[in-house]
Amino acid sequence: MIGVLALQGDYEKHIHILDLLKIQNMEIRYSRELDMIQGLVIPGGESTTMTDLMGRNGFYEPIRNFAKNYPILGTCAGLIMMASSVPGSRVKPLGILDIEVDRNAYGRQVHSFTDQLPVQLNGRATQIPSTFIRAPKITRIAAGVEVISKYQGNPVAVKQDHHLGLSFHPELDNVTLFHEFIFKKQLMDKSTPQHHAA
């Protein structure tokens, strides 16, 4: 079972992608529900809103603990939440990816764009459509963080351990590649679901 954090944002679009892949999924609104899943998506949305809702509802430590054992995929605001540092902003990131992020660095909505993006995944090169909405820029990456896609010289998709962070929204273009990559593997490795006390 894969969870999609459903506090705010385009979580239904991610559920649609998981449905397309026939991956069982559920919406996550309470930290106790993390015990029922083996992977988590943090969707696009507003990272300041997510900061407040995650803080007020006790998500920070439970997600950090969850991240030690299970993969997390973050898109746009999700990537911001997974970062280690977001300078000059009231966002409080989780520190799951050892990267620094500049929010809305691509500009306001009139600068949002779509383009073809080259991706290097599993030793295979491919091209996908990508949508950047008031997107964040990854401004620093630590050793151990693998860049799997760059746009105009800037990293826009990064992988560290079993986690994946994207500046753009594959869920808006029906791109299933990333969800499949990080969760199918997990589901196969751990075919017996791990049960924790509820």
Partner 1 sequence: MAEKGSFEIKVGLAEMLKGGVIMDVMNADQAKIAEDAGAVAVMALERIPALIREEGGIARASNPEMIRAIQSVVSLPVMAKVRIGHFAEAQILEAMEVDFVDESEVLTPADEHNHIWKHDYKVPFVCGCRNLGEALRRIGEGAALIRTKGEAGSGNIVEAVRHMRQVQSDMKKLTVMGQDELMAAAKEMGAPFALVQQVAKLGKLPVPNFAAGGIATPADASLMMQLGAETVFVGSGIFMSDDPAPRAKAIVDAVTYYKDSAKLVEISSGLQSAMKGLDMSEIPEGERLQERGW
Residues in touch with partner 1 (CB under 8 A): 6-13, 29, 44-46, 48-49, 52-53, 56, 76-77, 89-90, 103-104, 107-115, 131, 133-134, 169, 172
Choose between 114 and 139: whose C-beta lies nearer to partner 1: 114
**Annotation marks residue 171 as catalytic:** yes
Residue 77 to residue 169: CA distance in whole angstroms: 10
Assess contact for 58 and 33: CB atoms under 8 A: no
Token digits for 99? 């990267």
* Helix/strand/coil for 33: helix
Minimum distance, C-beta of residue 152 to partner 1, in the bound complex (Å): 9
Minimum distance, C-beta of residue 31 to partner 1, in the bound complex (Å): 13
Q: Catalytic pick from 14, 33, 163, 169?
A: 169
Choose between 7 and 145: whose C-beta lies nearer to partner 1: 7
Choose between 9 and 93: whose C-beta lies nearer to partner 1: 9
Minimum distance, C-beta of residue 143 to partner 1, in the bound complex (Å): 30
Choose between 52 and 100: whose C-beta lies nearer to partner 1: 52
* Helix/strand/coil for 119: strand
Nearest to 98 by CA among 160, 149, 151: 160
Minimum distance, C-beta of residue 107 to partner 1, in the bound complex (Å): 8
Q: Catalytic pick from 171, 179, 180, 195?
A: 171
Indicate the length of the chain as a whole number: 198
Token digits for 47? 């990272």
Question: Which amino acid is residue 11, in one-letter code?
Answer: Y
Torsion of CA 157, 182, 31, 77, to 10 degrees: 20
Q: Catalytic pick from 14, 76, 163, 179?
A: 76
Residues with catalytic function = 76, 169, 171
